[in-house]
Structure 1
Amino acid sequence: MKAKLISCIICLLLIGIPAKPADRSTALPILEIVKAVTKKVIKAIDLRIQKLQNKTIWLQNAQKKVENVLSKLKLDEISDWTKKQKDLYQGYYEELAKVKSIITYYQRIKDITRKQTRLVEEYERAWNLFKQDSHFKESEIQYMELVYSGILEESVKNIDQIFLILDSFSTQMSDLKRLEIINNAADQIDSNYDDLTLFNQQNVILSLQRAKTEAEVKQVKQFYGIP
């Protein structure tokens, strides 16, 4: 449902944008969508991790109580006590292992979302510089805008996958399937990030190639923070 909603918002937004020359002073419209949804994901994950960590503390305390009782019993009493209490306390151990496993999943998802955030930050940094670079024509800026829009739209699909994973913890999805989705989302965001950085590097190289003097080359390097 969330995936369809995000996709509909993007479609409506893009349909409503009239075709016109690139405005070097503005950011891509889809950027705010990506930022807002990414922020929502991070907040949701943080809240879930906090709740699970609190639950972990409670379960660990219960586990310690069991271990304290065992330590006070004699060896012959432990066997008899264990038989009686095994079913009662087994749930604590199983639940604790389950909670720790889910926290690991959430931490992995959070890492993927942080990579998404770095992608947005890298886009903003590069795009703001390219729009100020006089070595690029308006038609080239428009082309960059199309490429960046495509990369950002693809990154939204990764967020759709993350929402699917988050929802999976309330369904009967297997750990194997959940891990498959997580790995797929991680691979996709890595690919998007690599595409973005490669495109940025190619544009910087092009700007350097168009510099006509050594002084201008030095100026371009300083502009883009190249040593």
Structure 2
Amino acid sequence: MRMRKYIKMLIISLMMATVMVPVQPVQGATAALGIFSLVTSAINKAIKAIDLKIQRAQNKVIWLQNAQKTLENTLTKLKLKEIGEWTDKQKKQYESYYEELTKVKSIISYYQRIRDVVEKQGLMVQEYGRLWNLLRQDANFTADELDYMEDVNSGILGESLQNIDHISLIVQSFTTKMSDAKRLELINEASNQIDKSYNRLRQFNNQNILLSVQRSKSLSEIESVKRYYGIQQ
């Protein structure tokens, strides 16, 4: 019902070029800023947690590389006969270091990919903050319209929290027996979900910006609105 009402208002406004009416910031703006702060905090915590895991993994890589180097140095100092007598224990230890090193490097690449996904989420949140701050101060919209915009934007942004929870499960998957293929599938799914939310956010707000331009009564007002939203001339 509310969606139909909003669409009806958009159609009427496009046909009649309604007069610009100054409005006070809607009360919903408080809710919008609240969820913006909540999601931003969650994203920052996720990035810090991932950075810590990357640092620990990188430290382990250094330790394994040094251990490997120690065994290699020992081997180069041995005489030909002694090399042949190199114990199975040392051979297995070297192989174990190599396998573990390969595994840790793979984990680091996964963590870095996950971090990229979270940063993409952060860019979406920044875009939300920038656009909503402009829209809620635009005198071309009524209080009811701004309230609706806030609901839609907050709803899209709220999906981010679910996506962050999804990413947290992926991070935890490194302590379970999840296959690399499944883990990669989940990472791609999270990335695609962010792209969808980001595109919905931009499409919805671009439509609102276009409406503001169309409601402008003169050429000077149109140019002013375009400058306000940073639209290229």
Place the TM-score, normalised by the shorter chain, in its bin. 0.7 to 0.9
Quote how far apart the aligned CAs of 1:26 are.
2.9
1:26 pairs with 2:21: no
Q: Which residue of 1 aligns with 2:101?
A: 96
- Aligned residues, how many? 207
Tell me the distance in 1 between the aligned counterparts of 2:28 and 2:166: 32
Tell me the distance in 2 between the aligned counterparts of 1:202 and 1:76: 79
Q: Which residue of 2 aligns with 1:7?
A: none
Q: Which residue of 2 aligns with 1:6?
A: none
Q: Give the counterpart of 1:226 among 197, 211, 231.
A: 231
Structure 1 residue ranges (4+ consecutive) displaced by more than 6 angstroms after TM superposition: none
RCO comparison, higher one (Cα < 8 Å, 6+): 2
1:171 pairs with 2:176: yes
Larger of the two Rg values belongs to structure:
2
Q: Structure 1 stretches of 5 or more lacking a match?
A: 1-20
Q: Which residue of 1 aligns with 2:6?
A: none
Contact 2:173 2:183 in 1 (8 A): yes
The CA RMSD measured in Å over matched residues stands at 2.0
C-alpha distance 208-79 of structure 1, shift in aligned 2 (>3 A): farther
Please give the residue correspondences for 1:35-54 in structure 2 after superposition, counting only pairs within 5 Å.
35-54=40-59
Tell me the distance in 2 between the aligned counterparts of 1:165 and 1:25: 33
C-alpha distance 91-84 of structure 1, shift in aligned 2 (>3 A): closer
Contact 1:24 1:131 in 2 (8 A): no
Q: Structure 2 stretches of 5 or more lacking a match?
A: 1-24
Q: Could you tell me the TM-score, scaled by structure 1's length?
A: 0.84
Tell me the distance in 1 between the aligned counterparts of 2:36 and 2:80: 65
Paired-residue identity, %: 57
Quote how far apart the aligned CAs of 1:85 are.
2.5
Quote how far apart the aligned CAs of 1:95 are.
0.9
Q: Secondary structure at the match of 1:173?
A: coil
C-alpha distance 183-101 of structure 1, shift in aligned 2 (>3 A): same
